[in-house]
Structure 1
Amino acid sequence: MIKKSLTLLFILFCFCGFSQKIIQKNLESTFLNTTRSINIYIPEGYVKDSIKNYPLTVVLDEDYMFDLYVGNAVLFSKKDKAPKQIVVGVSMKDSKGEDISYNINNGQLTSSAQNFYTFIRDEVIFYMESTYRTSPFITLVGQGYSANLITHFLQEDTAFINSFICINPSFSDFIGGELQSYNLSKFGREDNTFYFYTNNSTSFSTDKQTQIDQVQKGLAGLGLKNFNIINDIIDTPSSISAMSEAIPRALTKVFEVYSGITKEEYDKNIKDLAPLDAISYLENKYLEIEFLFGSSLGIRENDIYAIENIIIEKENGDRLRDFGKMILKIFPSSPLGDYYIGRYYESGKMIKKAITQYKIGYGKMDPADPNADAFYENILRLGGQ
């Protein structure tokens, strides 16, 4: 309990530190025939870096979910577990629940909820994409009945939402039939990545737990390529604590491709690969990061070292040059690409070429870098002073 409290305090501290980047706007809506308040979080560095794009997240239930989500987003980006995000919180009518209401006889959205749905799709997202530098990766976040609302975005003919985060969802009784009617197989045909997160909790009623469990199993059974179903069970006596735990757990899964290679990822996807396949895996990982999130990271050194043994130990190290070329392709300013190419030439007794490559790599390094001297020793060792 103390550990969780400290985490929440740190999240709140992070959020307060970035509160000056919150923009409040009244967005005029044709569909709602009124103006609706939205809060926009702009991440640190947005103004300074005029080229970089950022994933867009739309959070419903803005009054309390927005602060909680932004706090987690800041923490995850600081820990390099997720890209920096632009987050927009949308206020909702709480008096009668008109924005998220549905017909209890068939599960279809009421006219007021359909208008709110269209407002999100055609006005909020359009405004954000036309006003700010957003990447193609869009996330929708809802809790309770607003989580039910965002499932209706699965019906769109064009799969333009990448991530659906349903926190403590209160689905309609017709959710199973609705999902079956949405032609979800279209996601498997897209050259893209999608996530659908739902959490269950021991704090929910038995009927609600059963319904969520059925939805989770039904979606998981589809086995669609690129459509990742994340079924989470949170053991807690409180729906509030379930909500606070669900958001970071959802972020961990939704942005797992962004994170550095973990032991789990290595054991599951990499360790048994041939050198060329391991190189291709790493290259595709970073190309996908750049495409989805607008983040040109280069390559993390730890990810390079993660597959180094495969390249060196398998096929007699014959793929060292391919490894180096791949690194230079994605991260041309890194000396590691030149190092591996130099090592390839050295192993083949092509000493002059090895010295040349080591010199190129050393020239990219800051003399203050503690690894610079060790790098230069390769040149001295081969007599290339």
Structure 2
Amino acid sequence: MIKKSITLIFILFCFLGYSQKIIDKNIESDILETTRNLKIYLPQGYEKDSVKNYPLAVVFDAEYLFDAYVGNSVLFAAKDKAPKQIIVGVSMGKTRKKDTYFDINTGNLTAENNAFYQFIRDEVIFYMESNYRTSPFISLVGEGTSANLITHYLREDKPFINTYICINPTFSDFVGQQFQSYNLQKFLKEDNTFYLYTNNSTSFSSKKQTQIGELQRGLASLELKNFNVVNDTITTASSISAISEAIPRALTKVFEIYSSISKEEFDKNIKDLSPIDAIAYLENKYLEIEFLFGSDLGIRERDIYAVEKIVIEKENGDQLREFGKMILKLFPTSPLGDYYLGRYYESGKQTKKALKYYKIGYGKMDPSDPNSDKFYENILRLGGQ
């Protein structure tokens, strides 16, 4: 309980910090033939960097989901667990039933539901991409019947949504048939990464738990390499608590590729690789981060160290040269690329080349860096001045 309270306090603190970055925008909708309100959050630093792009999250039910999602987004970005995001909240209020409730007799969207669906797709997302620096990575976030509406975007012939976050979803009795009609195999044709998050909860009625459980079991049987199904179950007596838990749990999975290499990721994907494959894995990880999220991180030193042992100990360290070159390409300001090149040439007794790279690496370091003395020792050991 204390731990959850601390988290909520931290998120509230973050909210107070970002409150000045909220933009209220009324958008005239030709599709809905009315004016709708948007709440737009721009992350810290957006105004200062005129080049950087950010993932876009569209949050339905902005009245109560927007602040919670933004607070979690700020926290995850501060902890380097997710990129900073541009977030647009769509206010619904009294129009929620008209916007997202479906025909209970068929499970199909009503004419009004379809209009709202198109409003999000053709007007809200278009407006955000036209006026703000968004990356190609788009998330939809909704709760209840809004979560159900979000799943209908899976039917698009050309998928353009990366993440479908469906919190406490209220599905029709025909949800299984609807998912079968979406032809999820089409995602395999896309050179992109997709996530579908749904949560069950002990706070739901028995009927609803059974319905969601059956859908999740069906989704779990899918084997689609780039379509990641996240089936969650939250143990709580309150659907409100389920919302507060679902958002960070969804973000953890959706942005796991952005995070630095965890022990789980290393054990599952890296530890048994050859040095050249481990190097390629690390390079591809950061290329995908840049492509999906518009975040040019260079490369985290802790991720370099995560694969260092494989490169040094396997194949007699013959791939140290490729390792150093890869690091210099992704992170040219880091001395680590030069260090590994120096170590490669030193192991081959090519002293002059080794000394050259040790000197270049040392020149990139701040004298106050505690590792600079160790770096200089390499130069002295090889007789450098």
Q: TM-score range by the shorter chain?
A: over 0.9
Matched, 1:114 2:114: yes
Aligned to 1:137: 137
Of 72-81 and 212-221, more deviation after overlay is shown by: 212-221
Aligned to 1:47: 47
Measured in 2, the distance between the counterparts of 1:226 and 1:189 equals: 9
Do the aligned residues in 2 keep the contact of 1:12 with 1:71 (CA within 8 Å)? yes
Measured in 1, the distance between the counterparts of 2:120 and 2:285 equals: 31
Measured in 2, the distance between the counterparts of 1:95 and 1:101 equals: 10
Question: What SS does structure 1 have at the residue aligned with 2:94?
Answer: coil
CA shift for structure 1 position 328: 0.8
CA shift for structure 1 position 93: 4.2
Question: What SS does structure 2 have at the residue aligned with 1:32?
Answer: coil
Gap regions ≥5 residues in structure 2: none
One-letter identity of the residue aligned with 1:272: D
1:329-375 Cα shifts (integer Å, max 9, x gaps)? 11111110010010000000000000001111111112222221211
Please report the TM-score for the alignment, with normalisation by the length of structure 1.
0.99
One-letter identity of the residue aligned with 1:273: L
Measured in 2, the distance between the counterparts of 1:48 and 1:21 equals: 13
Aligned to 1:6: 6
One-letter identity of the residue aligned with 2:137: F
CA shift for structure 1 position 94: 2.5
Measured in 1, the distance between the counterparts of 2:13 and 2:212 equals: 33
Measured in 2, the distance between the counterparts of 1:302 and 1:224 equals: 30
One-letter identity of the residue aligned with 2:338: D
1:17-65 Cα shifts (integer Å, max 9, x gaps)? 1100000000110001011000000000001111100000000000010
1:153-205 Cα shifts (integer Å, max 9, x gaps)? 00011111000000011111111111111111111221110000011111111
| Structure 1 stretches of at least 4 aligned residues deviating more than 2 Å after TM superposition | 93-96
One-letter identity of the residue aligned with 2:97: G
Measured in 2, the distance between the counterparts of 1:155 and 1:96 equals: 22
1:262-296 Cα shifts (integer Å, max 9, x gaps)? 00000110001000000000000000000000000
CA shift for structure 1 position 95: 5.4
Aligned to 1:68: 68
Aligned to 1:233: 233
1:313-332 Cα shifts (integer Å, max 9, x gaps)? 00010100010011111111
1:92-111 Cα shifts (integer Å, max 9, x gaps)? 14256100021111111111
Do the aligned residues in 2 keep the contact of 1:93 with 1:99 (CA within 8 Å)? no
Aligned to 2:320: 320
Question: What SS does structure 1 have at the residue aligned with 2:256?
Answer: coil
One-letter identity of the residue aligned with 1:285: K
Do the aligned residues in 1 keep the contact of 2:63 with 2:93 (CA within 8 Å)? no
Do the aligned residues in 1 keep the contact of 2:61 with 2:93 (CA within 8 Å)? no
Please report the TM-score for the alignment, with normalisation by the length of structure 2.
0.99
Identity %: 74
Matches within 5 A, 1:288-367: 288-367=288-367
1:147–1:79 CA distance, 2 compared to 1 (3 A): same
Measured in 2, the distance between the counterparts of 1:152 and 1:88 equals: 20
Measured in 2, the distance between the counterparts of 1:69 and 1:96 equals: 19
Do the aligned residues in 1 keep the contact of 2:31 with 2:118 (CA within 8 Å)? yes
Question: What SS does structure 2 have at the residue aligned with 1:49?
Answer: coil
One-letter identity of the residue aligned with 1:155: R
Do the aligned residues in 2 keep the contact of 1:101 with 1:112 (CA within 8 Å)? no
Measured in 2, the distance between the counterparts of 1:368 and 1:95 equals: 59
Measured in 2, the distance between the counterparts of 1:383 and 1:96 equals: 74
Matches within 5 A, 1:1-385: 1-94=1-94, 97-385=97-385
Do the aligned residues in 2 keep the contact of 1:187 with 1:225 (CA within 8 Å)? no
Question: What SS does structure 1 have at the residue aligned with 2:229?
Answer: strand
Q: How many residues align?
A: 385
Measured in 2, the distance between the counterparts of 1:71 and 1:96 equals: 23
Measured in 2, the distance between the counterparts of 1:101 and 1:239 equals: 19
One-letter identity of the residue aligned with 2:244: S
Gap regions ≥5 residues in structure 1: none
